[in-house]
């Protein structure tokens, strides 16, 4: 088997990332040398690669599905939104500046060449490359600058599968409309559909799928059922909804639950940090955006942020800052990670990210932070306090003053802060260090007065993540037309796909 295809979606969060991960895992299990590729991603969930760059977290998970280490080659362009209008532009793993929509036009030619070169390189090295689109290819207002959807498909002659989330409703209209608004040359590459998150009897859906084929000339290559146990590694903030639980809480081993309130910041980054807690039996993690939700929680987590100063102001405006101070005064547990850690300090000096200058922090740790370039990108693997530790750092803020004891040592160097029941660190992924997490949760439970809470001694986050990938591969193998997908990989898009012309003439003339 050899070739490449693009998995696009009717909307953001339609299921592109999980379908790509599932296809990658399925092919890797069959012995195929496969790699993932997302030309351009917009997400604040990112990881540090072995080659010292930064890519979207979804592409790191897809790399794991392939049995590969994450690399900047798999996601050469990353946009990290810091506001509604501007994003940090990361190219081949390195931040090169901040852009708005109009600024981005100036970069498109260079970025298109970078994307094409990376994809060509991967296709020479691997048997198969599974590409993931971004947002929806039906965003025809962005077609002229598109790098990740039909722009990529046209340039590389990739057959395209369009995924629709039936859980949102209107999936047949979404699938039809996605094809219909495209110009004819783009339509020629749309080779089939996949329906995601279906609940119930698929035979009830069959007549609609048959009509969709009659209307478009394109088959539905599979209907993936809703999988309640599939939850780890959310792609972006759409999966981080206030008042929603994280994962599927399992009953406690002891007679007491441990409840965790994770603050859903407006510009939250690396929200996946709390997933390691949600893997533990008896730990119930919930996203919150209201100060009243902090009252009964045993632990509050203040996660990372792409806009630390702005999100700090949001904490004050919503009353959450006052609720955190009340918790701290009562000796109740709080954890800050990266941007959340910085907010817990006394002072932030930021002339880089927000240009706000000197800003008072929450004052819960004796910590002073100063933002500077270049961004710190670092993977850390080693030991601390006698146990294995690992994590990664992505931040502009540097610790320039720390009057509290370090939380722990990593390879002999102090990291983070600890004051009574308040902890902070710049390390993302730290809680995936299983023994460290267990020891710390015992301390959290003790300080929270949850003496009946028992920490499991056999939970491995990496094994749970691996089992999630296998679940995805099983869903793909059992519910998609694998022979049809293999034909697309081998032969490309069929040559006889008809153009769709709507009553308004959409699809009959170029729109991009």
Which residues have a catalytic role annotated? 338, 428
The gap from C-alpha 181 to its chain's centroid, in whole angstroms, comes to: 28
| 254-292 burial: b if 16+ Cβ within 10 Å, else e | eebbbbbbbbbbbbbbbbbbbbbbbbbbbbbbbbbbbbe
* Residues 56 and 46 sit within 8 Å (Cβ to Cβ): yes
113 by DSSP, 3-state: which? helix
Give the C-alpha separation, 153 to 149, whole Å.
6
Give the C-alpha separation, 221 to 160, whole Å.
12
Name the CA radius of gyration of the chain, rounded.
23
| Nearby residues of 355 by Cβ (< 8 Å), 6 or more positions away | none
Structure tokens at 164: 């629709």
CA torsion through residues 43, 47, 49, 52, sign: positive
Distances (CA, A) of 88 to 84, 334, 401, 510: 12, 29, 27, 31
Dihedral, CA atoms, 337, 341, 343, 346, nearest 10 degrees? 180
Q: Nearest Cα to 474, choosing from 232, 230, 167, 291?
A: 230
Give the C-alpha separation, 419 to 367, whole Å.
11
Helices (H), 320-433: 320-329, 339-343
Distances (CA, A) of 171 to 101, 129, 165, 205: 29, 27, 6, 11
Distances (CA, A) of 107 to 3, 76, 152: 29, 13, 16
Token pair 């932070």 is found at 369
Q: Which helix (H) or strand (E) holds 422?
A: strand 422-425
Give the C-alpha separation, 103 to 16, whole Å.
27
Q: Provide the 10 A C-beta neighbour count for residue 232.
A: 20
| 410-419 burial: b if 16+ Cβ within 10 Å, else e | beeeebbbbb
């Amino acid at each position: 088997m050899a070739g490449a295809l693009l998995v696009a979606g009717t909307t953001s969060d339609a299921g592109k990332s999980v379908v790509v991960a599932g296809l990658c895992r399925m092919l890797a299990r069959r012995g195929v040398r496969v790699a993932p590729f997302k030309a351009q991603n917009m997400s604040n969930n990112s990881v540090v690669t072995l080659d010292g760059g930064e890519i979207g977290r979804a592409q790191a998970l897809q790399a794991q599905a392939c049995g590969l280490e994450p690399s900047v080659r798999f996601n050469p362009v990353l946009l990290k939104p810091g506001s509604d209008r501007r994003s940090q532009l990361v190219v081949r793993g390195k931040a090169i500046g901040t852009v708005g929509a109009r600024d981005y036009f100036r970069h498109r030619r260079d970025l298109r060449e970078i994307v094409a070169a990376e994809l060509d390189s991967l296709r020479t090295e691997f048997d198969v490359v599974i590409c993931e689109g971004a947002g929806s290819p039906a965003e025809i207002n962005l077609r002229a600058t598109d790098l990740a959807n039909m722009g990529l498909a046209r340039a590389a002659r990739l057959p395209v599968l369009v995924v629709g989330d039936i859980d949102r409703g209107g999936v047949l209209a979404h699938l039809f409309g996605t094809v219909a608004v495209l110009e004819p040359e783009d339509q020629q590459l749309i080779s089939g559909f996949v329906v995601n998150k279906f609940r119930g009897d698929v035979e009830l859906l069959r007549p609609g799928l048959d009509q969709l084929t009659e209307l478009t000339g394109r088959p539905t290559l599979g209907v993936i059922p809703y999988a309640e146990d599939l939850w780890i590694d959310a792609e972006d903030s759409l999966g981080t909804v206030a008042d929603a639980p994280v994962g599927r809480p399992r009953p406690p081993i002891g007679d007491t639950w441990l409840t965790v309130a994770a603050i859903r910041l407006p510009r939250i980054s690396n929200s996946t940090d709390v997933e390691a807690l949600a893997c533990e039996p008896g730990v119930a993690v919930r996203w919150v955006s209201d100060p009243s939700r902090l009252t009964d929680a045993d632990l509050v987590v203040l996660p990372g942020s792409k806009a630390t100063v702005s999100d700090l102001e949001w904490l004050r405006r919503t009353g959450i800052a006052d609720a955190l101070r009340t918790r701290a005064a009562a000796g109740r547990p709080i954890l800050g990670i990266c941007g959340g850690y910085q907010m817990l300090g006394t002072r932030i000096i930021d002339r880089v990210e927000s240009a706000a200058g000197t800003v008072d922090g929450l004052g819960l740790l004796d910590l002073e932070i100063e933002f500077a370039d270049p961004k710190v990108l670092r993977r850390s693997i080693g030991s601390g306090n006698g146990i294995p530790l690992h994590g990664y750092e992505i931040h502009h803020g540097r610790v320039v003053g720390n009057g509290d004891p370090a939380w722990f040592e990593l390879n002999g160097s102090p990291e983070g802060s600890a004051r009574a029941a308040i902890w902070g660190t710049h390390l993302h992924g730290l809680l995936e260090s299983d023994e460290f997490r267990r020891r710390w949760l015992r301390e959290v439970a003790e300080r929270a007065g949850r003496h009946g809470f028992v920490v499991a001694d056999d939970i491995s986050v990496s094994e749970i993540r691996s089992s999630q990938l296998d679940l995805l591969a099983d869903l793909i193998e059992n519910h998609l037309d694998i022979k049809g997908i293999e034909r697309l990989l081998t032969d490309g898009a069929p040559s006889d796909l008809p153009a769709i012309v709507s009553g308004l003439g959409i699809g009959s003339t170029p729109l991009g």
